[in-house]
Structure 1
């Protein structure tokens, strides 16, 4: 029986390394194994090279993840006139950003540690600031307003990413997971002494019936924007 010897001349040629190739491979790994598990070594293995080769293109994991975050944001489609007035477009922009980031595990963690200045992050910031100004937020408070909305995007994306992970792990639908969580909370509140926790008991019905998750997300964003408008001249 003949054997085929591994010959460098007959191997398929490796794709040349580049900054774009490194960042793309890292994003694919985030989707596959999760943000926390992605290391320089794992990225190098995915590219069939050594970790030292990556440092030609990025200085460390933090810089790589910042680039990965920005690449993910390229998926966010900016709203246009067909999406409605400035407020409808702002709500759409925020919702799309949450959806994109939530689809890439805990990648939104990157934005918790510093200002993101990648091309796509700046593209979203530019549009958000433009819409806020169009809505009447004065220039002195536009940066604070955008920061508040960014925090909402990050926290919402991380929450949704966690739900998506649990869904995959438990092989359950979102509705089934919500019902399970509601029942667990209901049983906990039921066991509490009413004299010590009167408000929890009084609101037990609403606390354990969260309703539609999309409606809840829309309500939270609506309250934030209402607050921004109310404080526009403060």
Structure 2
């Protein structure tokens, strides 16, 4: 509202009323008697809805959480309150803590851990999760388009390593590759990322390019990072899951 905007810039009630050709009592009622209601709860933390925020307070945590969501996450919007769930395999105990911390850093006031067969579902209810994860939608991710919003692209461009960390912690791994050349065995580390969505695979490739990490597609749905310097770079940004 223009009246409140003028008041916020320091104009008094009489000056605002004169500028807008409105009665003094009307402007006073808008700006003093009925002030703008304050956001509370997760609404106050949603940087897409709160004019006082505008940008994630922890963009690295948001980048990491988005990577986890695109890999093993699911946003349920059919319930009374949206529920974000990210499934973390039991084999990676620290991953549950990392996911929990990222949710709390981005939006959640409370996070639950639900035991499943072979994994833990880390989940948080929040009205504003759909604001921060606009890639949600019906059906499987690889059966629909996954495209970043401009504001997401700006965040990830500044924090590609954290985004890759989320992707590799969900749908990737660091393995020891064994090859035999002229009868001699060699062992070297490499990273693998597997995802059925061509769009999500493209985002992984884009983030790797931002870091100057060489990669190649060894299968239609599988990406490999094997060059020594490339693996060293990913070790700095991604590292093991536990």
TM-score, with normalisation over the residues of structure 1? 0.29
Greater share of strand:
2
Greater share of helix:
1
